[in-house]
Amino acid sequence: MWLLLLAVAKGKEVVDQLVAIPPRDWVSSIMSPSEGQPTVVPLDAEAGSLVVGDLFAPFVDEGFASPPYMVLRANGEEYSSSLEGLEVDDVVELLVDEAVSAVLRIEKLPSVPRIYRNVLGEALGMVEKGEWTAHVYIGADGSSALSNHTDVTDVAVYQLSGAKDWLRCDGDGDKASKCAQYDKAEMENLGGCAAHKLETGAGMFVPRRTVHGARSAGGVSAHVTVGIPDDDARRRLLCSTSSSGSCPAGTYGYYTASSCDTSCDSCCDSTGCDCSCDYYGCDSCCDIVQCDCSCDSSCDYCGGCTSCSAGTYAPVSGLSYCYTCPSGRTSSTGAISCYDSDDKKKKKKGDDSSVVIIAVAVALFVFLCCCIVPLIVWCCCVRNKDRKNPQRVELATVETGKNDTVVEVTVPEGVAPGQQIYVDTPDGERVEVRVPDNMGPGSTFQVTF
């Protein structure tokens, strides 16, 4: 029971182990080895809140905890164990208990997870395009995911957490030009071997044809690798981040190859690396931005910066390519952002016009309901009131000498022309009469009965 509790506690400790976030230009910063010798480069890690458990989350939580996305390995061999139904804590506990390593292949995922975008830095765009590879190796103390081997790509390494012991030797012969493993006897016959310890926050460049291997040291460790497939990709990155300065936002850096590059690449990329420009490994004089070899002074000419074409954009400096605007948006040449396309603008304008028409109609309706209609109702009520309650007035009788009776009516105060008033006849009847149009208060008019 105590052993089980100890294992669980250890797994939880590893899950919460902090991860160092590399600077954005970490790949290009370690790609200029001195005199052909790979070196460990300390880099300024950025403070962050990532932990080892976060590195597993996009794979385990999203259903990618199986080949080809995630592979468990032990001492250079694939470790067979189902991770179905396990959570991150369970996977880490398995690594610790079984002393195995996990290989997380970022480029295999449908898209690069958000937590890895800062980790990849300037290499993000090339990984998203599928041109470069990006792997994360997380191993228990003393474990090794891969045996000593060579890669067909240049490899940039950054130690995210913990530490790893590295052994690197010069490759030799046709085997070194391939992706191949080396046993103990073969390693004893190699020259130029050197051991390095890569601590958290340090980077290392491993040129292709270099025999290398790594093993976790002093606890669980994690490192990320970026595989750069060919000389052209390496030169493009160095060109865009060279001492001449990164290309500004709205543009991207590119490399203009020369005839010398073509000849150097062809003779050095083949199995026989025997041309005069072979400084170490393969054509280093043309790979790095230092034209000091006999092959050609124009080998490493940086063609400068190119503006992003219409429909694409570069929001930041130092990009090796431009992003494509999302659907419904476009951009002009050399843009740093996108805007709504004409079709979308027209639709939006039509939508806006409809909204204005509806708003005007509603406002008119409200005006009619709140102002005009009440006014009409009030006027009608007043007229009806006047008709239903005509004002009574005192009369003066005028003798005419005829059978008709004529009364003289004085228009009272508050009565307007055309208004109805009551008039009492001499015989006691009450009749309703209309005030003539030209009569106002105090005026008199006669009514004959």
Looking at the structure, tell me whether residues 362 and 416 fall in a common domain.
Answer: no
The DSSP secondary structure of 263-322, one letter per residue, reads HHHHHHHSS---STT--SSS-HHHHSS---SSS-TTTT-EEEEEEPPTTEE--SSS-SSP
pLDDT band, residue 352 (cuts 50/70/90) = low
Looking at the structure, tell me whether residues 123 and 41 fall in a common domain.
Answer: yes
Looking at the structure, tell me whether residues 373 and 417 fall in a common domain.
Answer: no
Is 175 domain-assigned?
A: yes
pLDDT tens figures, 324-345: 999 989 999 999 999 998 765 5
Looking at the structure, tell me whether residues 395 and 385 fall in a common domain.
Answer: no
Tokens read off for 168: 């690197």
Last residue of a domain, one of 196, 229, 262: 229
Who contacts 37 (Cβ-Cβ below 8 Å, separation ≥6)? 194, 280
Is 395 domain-assigned?
A: yes
Looking at the structure, tell me whether residues 218 and 350 fall in a common domain.
Answer: no
Is 318 domain-assigned?
A: no
Residue in 394, 391, 437 with CA at minimum distance from that of residue 414: 391
Q: What is the mean pLDDT of residues 207-231?
A: 89
131 compared with 61, residue with greater pLDDT: 61
Please list the alpha-helical segments (H only) found in 131-227: 184-188
Is 76 domain-assigned?
A: yes
340 compared with 33, residue with greater pLDDT: 340
Cβ burial, residue 235 (10 Å; 0-12/13-18/19+): buried
317 compared with 303, residue with greater pLDDT: 317
In the block, which residue shows the tokens 């005419």? 400
Q: How far apart are CA 102 and CA 94, in angstroms?
A: 10
pLDDT tens figures, 75-103: 878 887 778 889 999 999 999 999 899 99
Residue 106 near residue 57, CB atoms below 8 Å: no
pLDDT confidence of residue 383:
52
CB atoms closer than 10 angstroms to residue 2: 6
pLDDT band, residue 377 (cuts 50/70/90) = low
Who contacts 73 (Cβ-Cβ below 8 Å, separation ≥6)? 79, 100, 101, 102, 103, 145, 146
Tokens read off for 25: 């230009």
pTM: 0.57
Q: Letter for the amino acid at 409?
A: V
Inform me whether the pLDDT recorded for 225 exceeds 90. yes
Out of 131-140, 228-237, 424-433, the most confident range is: 131-140
Q: What is the mean pLDDT of residues 226-247?
A: 62
Q: What is the mean pLDDT of residues 62-77?
A: 90
Looking at the structure, tell me whether residues 69 and 127 fall in a common domain.
Answer: yes
Given CA atoms 396, 400, 401, 404 in this order, what sign does their dihedral have?
Answer: negative
Using CA atoms in the order 307, 252, 131, 129, what is the torsion angle rounded to 10 degrees? -60
Q: How far apart are CA 135 and CA 226, in angstroms?
A: 7
pLDDT confidence of residue 410:
84
Tokens read off for 331: 């951009």
Q: What is the mean pLDDT of residues 98-112?
A: 93
End-to-end, the C-alpha distance of the chain in Å comes to 124
Give the lowest-confidence range in 43-52, 168-177, 249-258.
249-258
Using CA atoms in the order 391, 392, 393, 396, what is the torsion angle rounded to 10 degrees? 140
Backbone angles phi, psi at 310, to 5 degrees: -60, 135
Q: What is the mean pLDDT of residues 143-159?
A: 91
371 compared with 242, residue with greater pLDDT: 371
Backbone angles phi, psi at 72, to 5 degrees: -95, 135
Q: How far apart are CA 318 and CA 238, in angstroms?
A: 10
In the block, which residue shows the tokens 């398995």? 94
Is 222 domain-assigned?
A: yes
Is 317 domain-assigned?
A: no
Looking at the structure, tell me whether residues 75 and 170 fall in a common domain.
Answer: yes
Q: Cα 187 vs. chain centroid, distance in angstroms?
A: 46
Q: Which domain holds residue 111?
A: 2-229
Inform me whether the pLDDT recorded for 305 exceeds 70. yes
Query: Residue 181 has what DSSP assignment?
Result: B
In the block, which residue shows the tokens 């012969």? 173
pLDDT band, residue 310 (cuts 50/70/90) = very high
Is 309 domain-assigned?
A: no
pLDDT tens figures, 406-437: 778 888 888 888 888 877 777 777 778 888 88
**Coil, strand, or helix at residue 76?**
coil
Is 237 domain-assigned?
A: no
pLDDT confidence of residue 345:
57
Inform me whether the pLDDT recorded for 33 exceeds 60. no
108 compared with 240, residue with greater pLDDT: 108
Tokens read off for 157: 């390494």
Residue in 255, 256, 260, 257 with CA at minimum distance from that of residue 296: 260
pLDDT confidence of residue 227:
92
60 compared with 259, residue with greater pLDDT: 60
Looking at the structure, tell me whether residues 384 and 429 fall in a common domain.
Answer: no
Give the lowest-confidence range in 63-67, 209-213, 229-233, 297-301.
297-301
Looking at the structure, tell me whether residues 158 and 113 fall in a common domain.
Answer: yes
Looking at the structure, tell me whether residues 201 and 67 fall in a common domain.
Answer: yes
Looking at the structure, tell me whether residues 60 and 143 fall in a common domain.
Answer: yes
CATH number at residue 223: 2.60.120.650
Q: How far apart are CA 34 and CA 287, in angstroms?
A: 13
Number of domains in the chain: 3
Looking at the structure, tell me whether residues 385 and 395 fall in a common domain.
Answer: no
264 compared with 66, residue with greater pLDDT: 66
